[in-house]
Amino acid sequence: MPSAPRRVTQRDIARLAGVSQATVSLVLNNRADADVRIAPETRDRVLRAIAETGYAADPVARRLAARFNRIIGVFTYEPAFPSGSRDFFHPFLLGIEEYAERVGCDLLLFTSAPVVDGRRRIFHQDNRLRLADGCILLGREIDGAELHRLNRDGFPYVAVGRRDDAGGPVPYVGADYATAVGQLVELALRRGHQRLAYLSTGATAESSEDRRRGFAAAAAAADGARQLPAAARDADAILDSLLADRTTVAFVEDFATAVALESATRRRGLGVPGDLSILTLGDPTVPVPTDIAFTGFHIPREEMGRQAVEVLTGVIDGSATGVQQRLLSCELVEGDTLGAPGPAVDRR
C-alpha cells in the first residue's frame, strides 16, 4: 500500500518562507512579541507558504502553545435538528455560528450523548467534552446536577437561558421574560382590561417561571387575574373556563395553544380581539401554521447565541471577570389580537 503523505509542519513553512519557526507561530496565532515586530512582507511570505502547502495547524500543538484550541462545543438537551423543533433552535445556532466565525473558532456539535430517563446527558462513559475548550448548552430544561458537576470540574461553559439550579452561580445568556410579560400586562391594563388569565404549560423551567412571575407582579393591579393550566386541555374547554370567568384577555405561554384558542373562539361566533384578546408569550417552539399576527413578543434568539459565544470565549481565555449572567430584552410585537375589552359573554 502507498504510504500516507507526510504532514506539513511549521518547520517546513519556516524553511519555505525563509523565517524562523517562532515567526511562523506568531503569524499563525496573529500575535507579535513585545520585542519582535513582524514586517508586513515577512508576514505575507509566511501566509503565501501556508496557502501553497495547505498547512493546517495541529490542534493539540496549538492548545499547548496558546492554551486555546479555538474549538467550541455545542450540546443540546433536545435534538437540534428534528422537524418539530428546528425552527426554534435554528436562530440560536445561527447566532452561535456567526460569532464563532468572527472570533476564528470552530464548532463541535456533541451528538453522541445517550438518552437516560427520557433526557440526553452530557456525562457518559464515552463523552468527549474535553475535545473542546468550552461548551455552550442549549435546552428548555438543563439538568441541575450536570451544571453542578461542570462547576465542580471547572470546565468552561455557558448556558443559553437563565439557570439557577447548579449549587452555585451559572454563566448564562438569557431572555428577560419577566419584564416582557410585565410590559404586555401593563399594555392590556392601559387598554382597559381587568379580567386577566395566564394559560400556563405547567413547565418548571426557569423560562416558564420567569414568565409567570412577570405576570403575577404586573397583574396585581388588576381587579381579577388568575393562572390556569393549559397543558393537555382541549381549546374549547379552555375557552369555556375563560368565558365563565368573564376573562377579557388571555396571556398564553404556548404559541400552539394560542392558535387553537383563537380558532375555537371564531367557531363560537366570537371575535378576537373584540370578544377575547389573546397575547402570546414568545415564539413558536414547533411550526404552527397561522395567518394571525398575535400581539406578544419575540425572543432575541440569534443575539443570545452570539453573546453566548462572546461570554464563553471570555471564560476560556480568562478575560471575563466573575460569573457572567446576561438577560437580553425581548422585542414587543403590537400584532392584531389585543383590543379594548368587549361586553361580557358566556357562549359555551
The Cα–Cα gap between 155 and 112 comes to 19
User: 249, 188 in Cβ contact below 8 A?
Assistant: yes
* Cα–Cα distance, 249 to 184 (Å, whole number): 11
pLDDT in the model for residue 347: 47
Sort 34 into a burial class: Cβ within 10 Å, 0-12 / 13-18 / 19+: exposed
Rounded distance between C-alpha atoms, residue 85 and residue 88, angstroms: 5
What pLDDT was estimated at residue 36? 59
- How does DSSP classify residue 52? H
Q: For the chain, list the domains and their CATH numbers.
A: 10-57 (1.10.260.40), 71-175+301-330 (3.40.50.2300), 177-299 (3.40.50.2300)
Residue 2 has a pLDDT of 46
Residue 24 binned pLDDT confidence (cut-offs 50, 70, 90) = confident
Mean pLDDT in residue range 188-202: 95
User: Residue 52 has what pLDDT?
Assistant: 84
Which pLDDT score, from 0 to 100, does residue 200 have? 94
Q: Tens of pLDDT along 92-119? A: 999 999 998 888 888 998 877 777 766 7
pLDDT digit string, tens, across residues 265-275:
999 999 999 99
Under DSSP, is residue 326 helix (H, G, I), strand (E, B) or coil? strand
Q: What's residue 143's pLDDT?
A: 82
- 3-state DSSP helix/strand/coil % of the chain, to nearest 5: 40, 15, 45
**For residues 106 and 97, what is the distance between their CA atoms, to the nearest angstrom?**
8
* One-letter amino acid of 269: G
Amino acid 20: pLDDT = 86
Q: What is the mean pLDDT of residues 266-295?
A: 92
**Beta-strand pair 106-110/71-76:** parallel
Mean pLDDT computed over 321-337: 94
From the list 190, 191, 215, 80, the residue with the least C-alpha distance to 138 is 80
First-residue to last-residue Cα distance in the chain:
80
- Note the pLDDT of residue 88: 76
Position 7 scores a pLDDT of 66
What ranges make up the beta strands (E) of the chain? Answer: 71-76, 106-110, 115-116, 119-120, 134-138, 157-160, 172-175, 195-200, 224-229, 249-252, 277-280, 296-298, 325-328, 331-333
Instruction: Tell me whether residue 112 is exposed, middle or buried, using C-beta atoms within 10 angstroms of its C-beta: 0 to 12, 13 to 18, 19 or more.
Output: exposed
Can you tell me the distance from the alpha carbon of 344 to that of 129, in angstroms, rounded to the nearest whole number?
A: 57
Residue 63 has pLDDT above 50, yes or no: no
Mean pLDDT of 147-167: 88
User: pLDDT digits over 226-247, tens only?
Assistant: 998 887 689 999 999 999 999 9
25-33 own/partner pairs: CB under 8 Å, 24+ apart: 25/65, 28/57, 28/62, 29/62, 29/65, 29/66
**For the chain, what is the mean pLDDT?**
85
Reply yes or no on whether the pLDDT at 248 is more than 70: yes
Answer whether residue 64 shows pLDDT above 50: no
**What does residue 264 show for φ and ψ, rounded to 5 degrees?**
-65, -40
CA-wise closest residue to 326 among 348, 305, 342: 305
